[in-house]
Structure 1
């Protein structure tokens, strides 16, 4: 393939960039990751074994980052190899306008930028309002830029420069106001409360998108019988996506029960439970719990619960109407380790699913759905870590408490409004 691309006619004589890619995945898996071969070794004259080892190492790193686990007992396969040829024409230069005339302001207004923004309450007075078509050269914030269809808020410390084609190039400057906004986390700000509430719910929703795309069971992929949520370090619910209400009300108990069963959790650990005595519902609803560590400390939990097609029991589907004991409904998973130090405990889990008087009928299907739940939780953990990087752990945890307190106050007010009877 490489030699054919090199022989491709190139009338303009422009340099051709060749890139090699392989799709790599675990044996028996439908998920393959695309890796660029050139980035696996410094030179092409290395030994094939060295390049294969580098390929496997890179695949495991990416798989761990994306899905949160490794399958050491599975072989790593290459499903496709391809070469991409690209003619590099160079970057298009960006030309900035030489005009430096300051536009005439349409007026001024009062804008809230948060702290620090020039005042103790975050408001900035006399922010100039400018018409976009009148902008020339560069501009330093704060400013409010208007046009016929919208507006642009230029924060304090940010700079704007108009390019030759009229594009606005906005960059963060060195001004102290461009630093991350850090306010008193103990004071509940209603604006930030709403922002954080939506951020936490968005994290749970994105967990659900991953679970829906990667699960095997029709119950999860098609019926959407699953739920995802974010919890504080004690296992109390903070935010959830609009999934299944009966799941969401009990998942916090499952997280707390898992924490009680494993008080010394470590990074890279994931747990699984369906125990009704520990916050579960019926046995097919299996919950995967992932502790989220930031800088080595346990700061949050994320969890997902999905309805598996079968978990054993005296009838297929694991919902027998005439069961007389829990074992007749299926296999009970009581806060078991699912991933330890980033490595999937597949053989141990298969042994549990295949044990008991009424074992699971398709344990490998259960494994597939559990891996989808692990991947969903990993997405939530990654997004929480990014949020902490942006806002700081103390602020994120403080607004988790504010959201819980606000919810409690709203419920109390509603109960009082109901009156007697």
Structure 2
């Protein structure tokens, strides 16, 4: 049961010669389907200097995986022995944004990164994640209940977006009534990671960072007076244990969790549904069939993460001189652009990489996907993301066995954060039989 990618056209802006890649990330042919360009890069060695990103793009699975774990590379080039970045030269109109980034796990290296990640791991224990399953199922069912039989639904707005934001808000300890604010702040902040961003996007992100931080300071003060069983309360407890965590660090950790805890999952739900529905249509197999057992469901979710993930780019900087294959020499401070989705389609790692095979990962020898990164910066929320994806898709296909996605569905002009723009689905007849309350 297989499904090929819809098109193999290379973008008009694509040029690859002499170890240099010319490619406009905003070329519609590219952001609609970047995989032919990735394949061309892999075929020529998997590494080339990409002028638009100012660093070497790396597409081979073995190279991407090894660099993610290689301590000669970091998310930043630290400014001091504490592993912190130097944002002193950033423009004044981004003051609030970089005040958050200065304490973000994404912008830190050891030993500060080690200290903060250990505290977050202690608060983000597996039992907190495991007990969310009934709640995730209940949220998914409630969202499906709002579908009208036969009507066209904006799938991101009606299902893929509200589900993870409600889950992460509750887990962290933020009122569900603030979900719309969290979404707005998150969308504006994520705009900072878009290639070619405008000054308007930057100012919007800075205002969002300022408003988000002020909102969380109020929440933190409330939790100090009245702790609860949530992540903010757990982190406050860590904050008071011998000064292990200060308030600015706590605020940045919570912002990161709220942003990362829903933004990527939103688009993976959309991308996953699109892939499974296309596979279902091509094979004549019900979309719910990959979820017939827990093992099959986990394998299918892993294949969606491989086939069309939301995060396509992680940047790393050389912390010392490094030699890469193909005669590429990096000096300290040189950047590499790790193309996670390209690595997931590398034929040296996966047979028939452009085919969606929901049972691919039933073979335990299959290579690990790069979609969550690797090494010390591996996504701490990966178990939650996988759980949300599995339950969301299970409930959707169980309740809407004849769901379809319309041909008008397109990808957003946001290549590195790959997701669908207002995808339209027709749920078909919705199963509204009484359900047993989640236990």
User: Which interval holds the TM-score relative to the shorter structure?
Assistant: under 0.3
Larger RCO: 1 or 2 (CA < 8 Å, sep 6+)? 2
TM-score, structure 2 as length reference: 0.25
Structure with larger Rg: 1
